[in-house]
């Protein structure tokens, strides 16, 4: 038998990501998006594929080229699809007939068009675009002045920058509509506010829209759901004005609306719940007030591109639905009923990151990943739980390469809390030998390591490292009390949880060399990496990524800085003592561990000045450190950044640990 190859950072170029399954209303076929990397152009390529659910057949590729073609959505009659493509430069909507032929460009809007939603009769499509307050959706591209001008940025609001989109350019998120036959455009929203298109009612009467319409946006963090009546342009708010709601779906008869959201009881640490709005009675009800699990997909990874998480997907009886929930390192397909009954339809040690039913609760197409499966689509029988694989987008790669084995671990913290995580053995593991260990810490902190593929972990294991990753308190997946426990306590019990995990591994796995321990993490995981090496010298090497080192300077500099500190540390600039006490920079003189610092130049979530301060403070004290600045990179470098830089990042991490941990 031919020996399998180890996984390397560069294998990102060979792997495909499959996401966003969309089953048609007949249940006979499914569209999905496959994304790969063009090494020559250092860009991502996405194309749309079709797979029959009725018969054994090969997948059919419906779009081609080296552009990003994504977000396919079936017309109500299943004869056409609309999708988003950047093939003309900006993202625009295109129409493609199911029977084949060339795609027809539907929009040519100066700022692009995304998020298409069909009208129930198939005559119109609503969409998302961005407009300045003086712009109209009917502006022609030819009339736009593209002359480059350097102008000052006038800032009057606190929310003037975003890690995702950079400095605010004066444009708001708005919703438009286009008549497919005539091309006539209509503005649904206008003004100085952002609106998010949700869904269209089955009778065509309403469009559901979410927005924060509070006057003081700087201090408002809500999202309400509105029903926009198409004929009259009348708006009706159906949520309370104090929570965060979205993912709006309609029952087949249009009498009920499903929502996912919460009332911000624990700020951004609050579990999302299921809600149902009765359209006739005008009554909103929470279906899961006492269900101690989070609705949605909270798994964190570094591989999938363009994941779409659905809301409640209703069945034919207008009372039942399916949805995704996160629990103990898995994402699970749950069946629910408006009476409040909930039970799992698909539960296993896996990450379900996509779900589509086409309107029937007999079958569903799910996207699944595991530590040894980068991701594929499966047909799920919702009645029996049986699954059948539909795609095999990395067949040859999986056949030729060896994936590291992963073992789940369960243990108690020193104060009696149940903790959960995983230990990945190095490739080529041999009993009786000892190996270095790398400890990985996730960001958030409100996220969840899961039974999913992680390219970084596999690359480390391929280089001879065991990899430990756990969900300390603050993580999703283990109850509301657990996720809230980190707020106001950064660097205390969360730190102890992580160190308890290291102690547990050393006590129970004799192949780990306690003299060769490494630690790394990004964002909150970077903060914790900095904190750990300032409080213990147990680690022989560390890599901190897009980290926080100084909560005082973080305040107001990060795009979330002026409120995140209040929510998470429960302190602001009126309490600098607390901010400094929780800052790793305050303990920099105690750091002896060789530290590699990785940071993106354009990171507005954890600005690069956080890394600069730490680097200079360490160098001034003659400590061993190196600082790598990644150009054109924001906070998402490791997940959706420029492919070549993602690979450079992985190699820097591996090489640093090889330099300091591979020497006995």
Q: Which residues are catalytic?
A: 523, 635
CB within 8 Å of 270: residues ≥ 6 apart: 244, 262, 263, 264, 480
* CA distances (Å), origin 185, targets 106, 127, 133, 181, 194: 11, 11, 17, 11, 19
Per residue, the 3-state secondary structure of 574-593, as one string, reads CCHHHHHHCCHHHHHHHCCC
Give the tokens for residue 140. 């022609």
Half-sphere exposure of 184 (CA within 13 A, CB side): 7
Q: CB atoms < 10 A from the CB of 311, how many?
A: 23
Q: Which of 293, 328, 322, 327 is nearest to 309 (CA)?
A: 322
Phi, psi of 526 (to 5 degrees): -70, -40
Residue that has been written with the tokens 């100084």 in this structure: 550
What is the spatial distance between Cα 327 and Cα 331, in angstroms, rounded to a whole number? 6
18 DSSP assignment? E
361 DSSP assignment? S
On whether the CB atoms of residues 120 and 77 are closer than 8 A, the answer is: no
The rounded radius of gyration (Å) of the Cα atoms in the chain is 25
4 DSSP assignment? P
What is the spatial distance between Cα 533 and Cα 570, in angstroms, rounded to a whole number? 24
Q: CB atoms < 10 A from the CB of 483, how many?
A: 27
On whether the CB atoms of residues 635 and 600 are closer than 8 A, the answer is: yes
103 three-state secondary structure = coil
What is the spatial distance between Cα 24 and Cα 523, in angstroms, rounded to a whole number? 39
On whether the CB atoms of residues 336 and 287 are closer than 8 A, the answer is: yes
| Angle CA 604–248–131, to nearest 5 | 50
What is the spatial distance between Cα 621 and Cα 624, in angstroms, rounded to a whole number? 9
Q: Going by DSSP bridges, is the β-strand pair 92-97/104-105 parallel, antiparallel, or unpaired?
A: antiparallel
Alpha helices in 159-308 (DSSP H): none
* CA distances (Å), origin 628, targets 595, 618, 625, 640, 649: 11, 14, 10, 18, 9
């Amino acid at each position: 038998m031919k020996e399998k190859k180890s996984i390397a950072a560069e294998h990102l170029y060979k792997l495909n990501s499959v996401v966003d399954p969309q089953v048609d209303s007949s249940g006979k076929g499914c569209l999905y998006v496959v994304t790969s990397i063009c090494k020559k152009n250092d860009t991502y390529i996405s194309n749309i594929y079709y797979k029959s659910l009725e018969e054994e057949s090969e997948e059919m590729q419906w779009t081609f080229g080296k552009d990003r073609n994504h977000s396919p959505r079936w017309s109500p009659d299943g004869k056409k699809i609309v999708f988003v493509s950047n093939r003309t430069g900006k993202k625009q909507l295109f129409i493609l007939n199911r029977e084949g032929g060339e795609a027809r460009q539907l929009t040519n809007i100066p700022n692009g068009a995304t998020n298409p939603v069909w009208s129930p009769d198939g005559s119109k499509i609503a969409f998302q675009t961005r407009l300045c307050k003086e712009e109209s959706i009917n502006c022609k591209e030819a009339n736009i002045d593209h002359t480059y001008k350097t102008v000052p940025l006038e800032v009057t609001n606190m929310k003037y920058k975003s890690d995702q989109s950079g400095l605010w350019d004066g444009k708001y998120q708005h919703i438009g509509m286009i008549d497919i036959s005539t091309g006539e455009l209509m503005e649904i929203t206008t003004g100085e506010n952002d609106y998010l298109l949700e869904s269209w009612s089955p009778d065509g009467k309403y469009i559901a829209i979410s927005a924060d319409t509070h006057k003081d946006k700087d201090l408002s963090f809500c999202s309400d759901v509105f029903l926009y009546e198409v004929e009259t342009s009348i708006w009706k708010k159906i949520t309370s004005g104090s929570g965060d709601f979205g993912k709006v779906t309609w029952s087949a008869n249009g009498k009920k609306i499903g929502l996912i959201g919460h009332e911000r009881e624990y700020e951004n640490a609050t579990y999302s719940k299921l809600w149902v709005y009765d359209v006739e009675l005008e009554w909103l009800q929470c279906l899961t007030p006492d269900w101690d699990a989070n609705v949605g997909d909270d798994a964190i990874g570094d591989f999938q591109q363009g994941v779409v998480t659905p809301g409640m997907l209703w069945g034919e009886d207008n009372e039942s639905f399916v949805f995704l929930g996160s629990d103990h390192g898995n994402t699970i397909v749950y069946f629910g009923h408006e009476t409040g009954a909930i039970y799992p339809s698909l539960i296993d040690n896996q990450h379900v990151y996509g779900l589509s039913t086409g309107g029937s609760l007999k079958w569903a197409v799910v996207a699944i990943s595991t530590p040894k499966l980068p991701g594929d689509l499966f047909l799920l029988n919702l009645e029996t739980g049986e699954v059948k694989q539909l795609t095999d987008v990395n067949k040859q790669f999986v056949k030729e390469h060896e994936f590291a084995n992963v073992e789940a671990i369960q243990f108690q913290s020193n104060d009696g809390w149940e903790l959960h995580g995983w230990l990945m053995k190095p490739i080529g593991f041999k009993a009786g030998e000892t190996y270095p260990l790398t400890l990985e810490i996730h960001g958030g902190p409100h996220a969840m390591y899961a039974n999913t593929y992680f390219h970084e972990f596999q690359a480390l294991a391929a280089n001879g490292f065991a990899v430990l990753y756990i969900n300390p308190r603050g993580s999703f997946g283990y109850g509301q009390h657990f996720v809230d426990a980190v707020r106001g306590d950064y660097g205390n019990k969360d730190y102890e949880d992580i160190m308890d995990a290291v102690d547990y591994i050393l006590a129970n796995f004799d192949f780990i060399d306690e003299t060769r321990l490494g630690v790394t993490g990004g964002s909150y995981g970077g903060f914790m990496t900095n904190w750990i090496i300032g409080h213990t010298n147990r680690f022989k090497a560390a890599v901190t990524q897009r980290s926080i080192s100084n909560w005082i300077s973080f305040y107001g500099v990060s795009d979330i800085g002026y409120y995140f500190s209040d929510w998470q540390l429960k302190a602001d600039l009126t309490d600098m003592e607390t901010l400094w006490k929780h800052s790793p920079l305050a303990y920099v003189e105690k750091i002896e561990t060789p530290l590699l610092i990785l940071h993106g130049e354009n990171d507005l979530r954890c600005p690069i000045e956080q890394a600069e301060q730490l680097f200079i403070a360490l160098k001034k004290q003659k400590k061993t450190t190196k600082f790598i600045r990644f150009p054109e990179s924001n906070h998402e470098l490791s997940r959706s950044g420029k492919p070549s830089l993602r690979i450079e990042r992985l190699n820097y991490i591996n090489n640093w640990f090889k330099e300091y941990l591979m020497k006995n």
